[in-house]
C-alpha cells in the first residue's frame, strides 16, 4: 500500500474511533455536558483512541491470517475479539479512573463485567467488522470482475492477432504463384506486378496490429490486387466498382476483407473469356456488398471456407453484426457490415 493510501485509511479509522468515544461520553453521566475541556476528558479520549486504533490493527492482522478459514471460524474469532476488546476497554477505563482521578465512589456497585460498556463496545466492534467485511468483499468482487474483463480482453486480442496472421502467408503464396507465371509471359507487366504486390504486402503488414481499416484504404488495396489478377486472367475477369467517394466516408472494415472476397471469387470459379467472372462491389445503407456470378470448379479436397470463417470470427469480436452470405446457385454474395472506429477492439 502506498503512503497516501496508508494515511487515508488511518484517518478514516481514527474518525470512526473518535466518534465512538464521543458517543460513550454522551451516555456517561460522569462527563458533564460543558463547553469546557477537562483534563479527564482529554485523557479518556487519548486513551480510548489509542487503545481502539491498536485493537483495529490487531483485528486486521488476525483476519488476514483467517482468510483461508470458514465463515463460522472467522465469525467466532471476531466475536471473541469483540468481547475481549469491550472487557479490556472497560477494565482499563475503570482502573485509570480509580487510580488517576480517585473516582472510586463512581465505580462502586458496578459489576465486574459492566455490561452497558462491555457489550456496547462489543456491538461497535461487530458493526465495524461487518461493514469492513462487506466493503472488502465488494472490493474483491470488483477486482475479480476487472481481472476477468482484462483476461477476456487479452484473449480476444490474442485470438484476433492469430486470425490476422493466417491472412498474410495465404495471401503471399497465392500472389507469388501469379507472379511466377507472369515473369515468363511479360517482364514489364511483371515489374508493375511486383510494385503493386509490394504495396499490398506493406499495407497488410502495417494494418496487422489494427482491428479496423478505413474503407478508402481497403478499396485502394483491392484495386491494386485486382490489377494483379487482371494481369493474369485478362478478359476472363471483370470488376464493376460502384463505390463512390461518399461511400468511403467514416466507413471501416476488418483489414483485407474485400480483397479476400475477390480472391475467393477467383479461387472457387472457372475463368474463361466466354464466361468471365464478374465481381461487383457496391454499398447499400450500412453494408458493403461484394458479389460474383458462379462457375464453380472442383477444388482438390473441397472448399473448407477458411477465409469466410476467419472473417466472420473477426466481425463477431468487434460487433453484434456479422457478414451475411448468400448463394443462390447463380450468384455468390457477401454483405459486409460497415463499422465505425468506435467498434474497434478495446
What is the tens place of the pLDDT at every residue in 187-198? 787 788 888 888
* Whether pLDDT at 285 is above 80: yes
27 closest CA partner among 98, 110, 116, 95 = 116
| Dist CA 270 CA 83 (whole Å) | 88
**Contact in structure between 254 and 212 (CB atoms under 8 Å):** yes
Q: What is the pLDDT of residue 345?
A: 46
Q: What is the pLDDT of residue 301?
A: 52
127-143: pLDDT as tens digits: 998 988 888 888 888 88
Q: What is the pLDDT of residue 209?
A: 65
Q: What is the pLDDT of residue 342?
A: 55
Q: Scanning the structure block, which residue is given the C-alpha cell 478505413?
A: 214
Looking at the DSSP bridge assignments, the partners of residue 339 are 252
Q: How confident is the model at residue 156 (pLDDT cuts 50, 70, 90)?
A: low
Q: What is the pLDDT of residue 189?
A: 77
Q: What angle do CA 207, 269, 309 make, to 5 degrees?
A: 45
Mean pLDDT (whole number) for 143-156: 71
215-266: pLDDT as tens digits: 999 999 899 989 888 877 889 999 999 998 888 888 899 888 898 899 889 8
45-87: pLDDT as tens digits: 998 999 999 999 999 899 888 888 888 898 999 999 999 999 9
288-344: pLDDT as tens digits: 999 999 998 876 555 557 778 878 888 887 788 889 999 999 999 999 999 887 545
Q: What is the pLDDT of residue 136?
A: 85
Mean pLDDT (whole number) for 100-113: 84
Q: Poorest-confidence range of 15-24, 149-158, 290-299, 315-324?
A: 149-158
Q: Poorest-confidence range of 9-18, 116-125, 171-180, 192-201?
A: 171-180
**Contact in structure between 266 and 293 (CB atoms under 8 Å):** no
318 closest CA partner among 160, 151, 163 = 160
110-131: pLDDT as tens digits: 888 888 888 989 999 999 989 8
Mean pLDDT (whole number) for 18-24: 88
Q: What is the pLDDT of residue 7?
A: 84
**Contact in structure between 90 and 105 (CB atoms under 8 Å):** no
208 vs 338, more confident: 338
Q: How confident is the model at residue 172 (pLDDT cuts 50, 70, 90)?
A: low
Mean pLDDT (whole number) for 88-108: 87
- Whether the full predicted model's pTM is greater than 0.75, yes or no, is no
Q: What is the pLDDT of residue 198?
A: 85
Q: What is the pLDDT of residue 346?
A: 47
Q: What is the pLDDT of residue 1?
A: 58
Q: What is the pLDDT of residue 9?
A: 85
Mean pLDDT (whole number) for 100-116: 84
Phi, then psi, of 211 in degrees rounded to 5: -90, -25
H or E element, residue 288? strand 287-293
209-221: pLDDT as tens digits: 677 889 999 999 8
Domains with residue ranges and CATH for the chain: 3-113 (no CATH), 153-343 (3.30.565.10)
Amino acid at each position: 500500500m502506498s503512503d497516501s493510501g496508508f494515511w487515508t485509511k488511518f484517518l478514516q479509522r481514527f474518525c470512526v474511533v473518535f466518534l465512538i468515544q464521543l458517543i460513550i461520553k454522551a451516555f456517561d453521566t460522569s462527563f458533564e455536558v460543558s463547553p469546557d475541556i477537562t483534563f479527564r476528558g482529554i485523557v479518556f479520549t487519548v486513551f480510548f483512541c489509542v487503545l481502539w486504533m491498536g485493537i483495529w490493527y490487531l483485528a486486521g492482522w488476525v483476519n488476514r491470517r483467517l482468510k483461508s478459514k470458514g465463515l463460522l471460524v472467522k465469525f467466532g474469532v471476531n466475536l471473541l475479539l469483540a468481547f475481549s476488546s469491550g472487557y479490556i476497554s472497560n477494565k482499563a477505563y475503570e482502573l485509570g479512573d480509580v487510580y488517576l482521578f480517585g473516582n472510586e465512589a463512581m465505580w462502586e456497585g458496578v459489576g465486574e463485567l459492566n455490561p452497558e460498556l462491555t457489550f456496547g463496545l462489543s456491538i461497535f466492534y461487530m458493526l465495524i467488522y461487518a461493514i469492513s467485511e462487506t466493503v472488502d468483499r465488494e472490493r474483491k468482487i470488483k477486482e475479480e470482475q476487472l481481472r476477468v474483463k482484462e483476461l477476456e480482453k487479452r484473449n480476444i486480442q490474442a485470438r484476433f492477432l492469430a486470425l490476422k496472421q493466417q491472412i498474410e502467408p495465404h495471401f503471399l503464396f497465392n500472389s507469388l504463384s501469379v507472379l511466377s507465371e507472369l515473369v515468363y509471359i511479360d517482364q514489364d507487366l511483371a515489374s508493375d506486378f511486383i510494385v503493386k504486390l509490394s504495396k499490398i504486402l506493406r499495407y497488410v503488414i502495417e494494418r496487422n496490429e489494427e482491428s479496423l481499416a478505413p474503407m478508402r484504404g481497403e478499396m485502394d488495396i483491392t484495386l491494386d490486387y485486382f490489377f494483379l489478377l487482371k494481369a493474369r486472367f485478362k478478359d476472363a475477369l471483370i470488376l464493376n466498382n460502384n463505390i463512390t467517394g461518399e461511400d468511403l466516408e467514416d466507413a471501416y472494415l476488418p483489414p483485407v476483407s474485400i480483397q479476400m472476397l475477390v480472391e475467393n471469387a477467383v479461387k472457387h470459379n472457372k475463368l474463361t473469356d466466354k464466361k468471365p467472372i464478374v465481381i461487383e462491389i457496391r454499398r447499400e445503407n450500412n453494408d458493403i456488398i461484394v458479389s460474383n456470378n458462379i462457375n464453380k470448379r472442383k477444388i482438390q479436397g473441397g472448399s473448407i471456407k477458411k477465409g469466410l470463417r476467419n472473417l466472420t470470427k473477426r466481425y463477431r469480436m468487434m460487433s453484434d453484426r456479422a457478414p451475411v452470405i448468400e448463394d443462390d446457385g447463380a450468384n455468390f454474395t457477401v454483405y459486409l457490415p460497415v463499422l465505425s472506429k468506435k467498434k474497434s477492439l478495446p
